[in-house]
């Protein structure tokens, strides 16, 4: 009898011990999974914790009744359109300074386009993201032609040599590939936003944090008053940049665009892939990468639009809606500066 009771107790003890071992192993497994999830780091550096202000900071009271009445300040998909008079620079500078941002900025100067670098860089240092961290990436086939320009505090210029090309169209379209590789291989974890700007331009006024957004397009100065059927979209169905006559929101310039690293990477990769497919089919979109950019923006709506203040036209008359010119193409003779007019 004693022996039988001892065996029963031994079996029960074994069952309890097995249960404890199972529970311990299961808890260890759960803990391991939790630890693994905690240590996963995000790929992108974007640190937008919300638009946070502080007690005691004084600024002008905003109004829901008073504002610009001569222009639209929001799209049909509720993205803001930035014009003079639609934002409080003092307030938004205060808000964004708390986020400790870095803005990467790319510019290409090949061949005779190096003549525009001095005005571009000097004017940028007067007006472009003043007081914020900026890292310019200058791609050129003539590093020795880059002028010495004094950089402001927390502004850095990095010069990268790239091969010369015979056609300006190839230079223009090749930017998407270079931008894609730069973002993917270098900028993740180093910058929060990126803007891609043409070099044959000059800054005349503030361009700063009011322009930031996940995906940012600049409305082309030639077409901001035009109906969509006059937009110079690619109209040939054979091209992947094709947009039909009945489609279109705005016509965006290829001379300035930007956003978060993740969003601009997707944009550049998509445009580069579509241009490669077009090339394989012996077709080149009417306005090259700008045509593909407009196709992308049609189906991937920008989260913020910049008005033509952010890319005006020195070679044309003014417009009543333009209260200030922030950034503008400069007058030039295309036949003189392009390798293949």
Mean pLDDT for 234-259 is: 96
Q: Quick check: pTM over 0.75?
A: yes
Catalytic residue among 84, 125, 290, 309: 290
Residue 127 lies in a domain: yes
Residue given tokens 């003779």 in the structure block: 333
In whole angstroms, what is the distance from residue 44 CA to residue 46 CA? 6
Residue 73 lies in a domain: no
Q: What percent of the chain has pLDDT over 70?
A: 79
pLDDT at 8 over 70: no
In whole angstroms, what is the distance from residue 123 CA to residue 139 CA? 18
In whole angstroms, what is the distance from residue 101 CA to residue 195 CA? 13
Give the closest residue to 117 by CA, choosing from 128, 109, 105: 109
Angle (nearest 5°) at CA 331 between 314 and 338: 140
Residue 250 lies in a domain: yes
Burial class (CB in 10 A: 0-12, 13-18, 19+), 31: exposed
Q: What percent of the chain has pLDDT over 90?
A: 68
Mean pLDDT for 121-150 is: 97
Residue 186 lies in a domain: yes
Range of the domain at 196: 81-337
Find residue 159's DSSP bridge partners: 138
pLDDT at 27 over 50: no
pLDDT at 42 over 50: no
Q: Out of 79-83, 101-105, 123-127, 331-335, which region has the weakest mean confidence (pLDDT)?
A: 331-335
pLDDT at 17 over 60: no
Residue 3 lies in a domain: no
In whole angstroms, what is the distance from residue 248 CA to residue 227 CA? 9
Mean pLDDT for 59-68 is: 88
Residue given tokens 């993205």 in the structure block: 79
Instruction: Give the CATH number, domain containing residue 247.
Output: 3.90.550.10
User: In the prediction, which pLDDT does 41 show?
Assistant: 47
Looking at residue 249, what DSSP letter applies?
A: S
DSSP string, 191-203: -SEEEEE-SSEEE
pLDDT at 94 over 60: yes
User: In the prediction, which pLDDT does 30 show?
Assistant: 34
Residue 273 is a catalytic residue: no
Burial class (CB in 10 A: 0-12, 13-18, 19+), 290: buried
User: In the prediction, which pLDDT does 317 show?
Assistant: 66
pLDDT at 206 over 90: yes
User: In the prediction, which pLDDT does 165 show?
Assistant: 67
Mean pLDDT for 275-290 is: 94
pLDDT at 75 over 50: yes
Residue 95 lies in a domain: yes
Give the max Cα distance, the chain: 111
Mean pLDDT for 81-88 is: 97
User: In the prediction, which pLDDT does 57 show?
Assistant: 86
Residue 141: CB atoms within 10 A of its CB come to 17
pLDDT at 268 over 70: yes
* Overall number of domains in the chain: 1
Assign 128 to helix, strand or coil: strand
User: In the prediction, which pLDDT does 38 show?
Assistant: 40
Mean pLDDT of the chain: 86
Residue 311 lies in a domain: yes
Phi, psi angles (nearest 5°) of residue 196:
-115, 115
pLDDT tens digit sequence for 292-341: 999 999 999 999 999 999 999 875 567 899 999 999 999 766 666 666 44
pLDDT tens digit sequence for 173-185: 578 999 999 999 9
User: In the prediction, which pLDDT does 238 show?
Assistant: 97
45 pLDDT band (50/70/90 cuts)? low
Contact criterion met (CB below 8 Å) for 46 and 262 = yes
pLDDT tens digit sequence for 222-231: 999 999 999 9
Contact criterion met (CB below 8 Å) for 44 and 262 = yes
Residue 45 lies in a domain: no
Spell out where 95-214 has E strands.
102-109, 133-140, 155-161, 193-197, 201-203
164 pLDDT band (50/70/90 cuts)? confident
């Amino acid at each position: 009898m004693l022996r039988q009771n001892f065996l029963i107790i031994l079996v029960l003890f074994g069952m309890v011990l097995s249960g404890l071992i199972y529970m311990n192993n299961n808890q260890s497994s759960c803990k391991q999974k939790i630890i693994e999830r905690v240590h996963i780091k995000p790929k992108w550096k974007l640190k937008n914790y919300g638009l946070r202000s502080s007690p005691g900071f004084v600024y002008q009271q905003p109004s829901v009744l008073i504002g610009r009445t001569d222009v639209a300040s929001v799209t049909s998909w509720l993205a803001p359109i930035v014009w003079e008079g639609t934002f409080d620079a003092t307030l938004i500078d205060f808000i964004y300074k708390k986020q400790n941002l870095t803005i990467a900025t790319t510019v290409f100067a090949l061949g005779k386009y190096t003549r525009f670098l001095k005005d571009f860089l000097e004017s940028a240092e007067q007006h472009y993201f003043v007081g914020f961290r900026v890292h310019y990436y200058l791609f050129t086939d003539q590093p020795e032609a880059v002028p010495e320009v004094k950089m402001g505090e927390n502004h850095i210029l990095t010069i990268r040599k790239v091969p010369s090309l015979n056609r300006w169209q190839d230079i223009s379209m090749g930017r998407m590939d270079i931008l894609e590789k730069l973002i993917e291989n270098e900028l993740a974890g180093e910058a929060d936003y990126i803007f891609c700007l043409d070099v044959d331009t000059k800054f005349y006024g503030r361009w700063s944090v009011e322009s930031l957004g996940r995906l940012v397009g600049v409305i082309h100065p030639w077409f901001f008053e035009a109906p969509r059927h006059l937009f110079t979209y690619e109209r040939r169905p054979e091209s992947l940049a094709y947009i039909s006559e009945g489609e279109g929101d705005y016509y965006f310039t290829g001379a300035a665009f930007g956003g978060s690293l993740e969003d601009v990477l997707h944009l550049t990769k998509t445009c580069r892939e579509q241009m490669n497919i077009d090339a394989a089919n012996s077709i080149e979109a009417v306005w090259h990468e700008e045509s593909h950019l407009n196709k992308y923006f049609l189906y991937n709506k920008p989260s913020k639009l910049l008005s033509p203040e952010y890319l005006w036209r020195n070679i044309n008359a003014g417009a009543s809606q333009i209260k200030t010119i922030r950034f503008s193409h400069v007058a030039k003779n295309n036949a003189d500066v392009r390798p293949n007019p």
